[in-house]
Chains A and B, each alone.
Chain A
Amino acid sequence: MKTRSVVSIAIVTAACMLGALAQGYAATDQQNLTINATVSAKAKLTVGVAAINFADADPDSVPSIAATENPVSVTVKAQTGGGSSITLTVQANGDLDSGTDTIDISNVTWTATGAGFVAGTMDTTAQAAGSWTGPGRHDGTFSYQLANSWDYAAGSYSQTVVYTLTAP
């Protein structure tokens, strides 16, 4: 009886000790998940209005006619290489035309606000309107003026200018 009791005590003791040693045991498993993301080049140009108008004015009183829609908002957005150059240009398709009468397009100028946007003079060759480096969004404004003159024939003049945004 006493021998069996001692053996029983020993077994219980061993179990407790193993249990104490086993305290804190954790089961684990792991899995790896690879995440991939592709960013392709893209560019977007937004000009606040599709047309600007210069009202008739007395050249003595208003030597420089501001466009009715000034200032015109411009937004440039591009995903491009970190060191890539982004350029915005403007090119007129010709002079301001009214039948056979013309007003030289170089009489239209603009001023600019916003980082990277630049002022300039309209021309039938591409003119710089802004430049940036790397991806991002840029907001600015253009305000247009028409140099007035008594030499202008009466009429309604029109022309199209094309803004081009390039982001490699």
Chain B
Amino acid sequence: MRAVDFRSWLCWRGRTTVALALFVIAPVLACTAAIPVWADDAALTLDVLTLSFPSADPDLTPEIPALENPISVSVRVRGASTTITDLTANAAGNLISGSDIIPIDRVRWTAAGQGFVSGNLEAYDPQLVGQWFGKRTDATGTLSFRLQNSWQYATGFYSQVVVYTLVSY
């Protein structure tokens, strides 16, 4: 029968045990120091993709409502209990017609629906449109847009794109 060097055997087992402990402790510390939060599903729907402001007399119509008002917006998120969901609107510039512009901040919206907020568009500066908390968000609201009118506007057909971004984290 082969003799077993008990002390060698114990040292080997001891080192293995220590290695395993360190292997476990480090990630556990990482887990407890920064609890992971994730969202695994986010969906944004706008019921119209083009908004139109018709021409109007600035004296009679100082604020022009969009023809499509109100537009419906739906937000769906599935995540963790600590999930935060933000909806923002970012205009890619001013309203442009050739060399003429209308500042995009002349466009404002009023919001209805839980979590949705009103505001003004800004160029290259995301503006908050809505915010929700929790693992499950099913929000439906409306946005109604108005363009401030002015005798200072040159004639033309103006256009710009606004990017609506839904982020859950």
Contact = CB atoms under 8 A, between A and B. Distances in A.
Interface stretch (B2-10, B54-62, B111-119): B54-62
B25 to A, nearest CB: 9
Interface string B45-75: 1101111111101110000100000000000
Interface residues on B, range: 35 or more
A60 to B, nearest CB: 47
A33 interface: yes
A133 to B, nearest CB: 11
A35 B27 CA distance: 50
Interface of B: 20, 23-24, 27-28, 30-31, 34-46, 48-55, 57-59, 64, 77, 79, 89, 91, 95, 97, 99-100, 102, 107, 145, 147, 151-169
Counting chain A residues whose Cβ lies within 8 A of the other chain, the interface size class is 35 or more
Interface of A: 6, 9, 12-13, 16-17, 19-20, 22-42, 44, 77-82, 134-137
> Closest 10 interchain pairs by CB?
A27-B42, A26-B169, A40-B55, A37-B53, A16-B31, A27-B39, A16-B27, A23-B36, A29-B44, A82-B154
B153 A28 contact: no
B158 A22 contact: no
Contacts of B95: 35, 37
B71 to A, nearest CB: 8
Contacts of A134: 154
Contacts of A42: 55, 57
Contacts of B157: 36-39
Given A33-B163, A39-B154, 12 more contacts: A31-B49, A32-B164, A34-B160, A35-B162, A37-B64, A37-B95, A37-B102, A38-B54, A38-B158, A39-B155, A82-B100, A136-B151
7 contacts: A6-B20, A20-B30, A27-B79, A29-B44, A33-B89, A81-B155, A82-B100
Contact of A19 (B31, B40, B51, B158): B31
A34 B36 contact: no
A17 B29 CA distance: 10
A28 B99 CA distance: 35
B51 to A, nearest CB: 5
Contacts of B50: 33-36
A40 B155 contact: yes
A32 B162 CA distance: 6
B138 to A, nearest CB: 14
B33 to A, nearest CB: 9
A81 B99 CA distance: 11
A35 B100 contact: no
A19 to B, nearest CB: 4
Contacts of B163: 30-33
Contacts of A41: 155
B151 A36 contact: no
A40 to B, nearest CB: 4
Nearest to B90: A30
B59 A30 contact: no
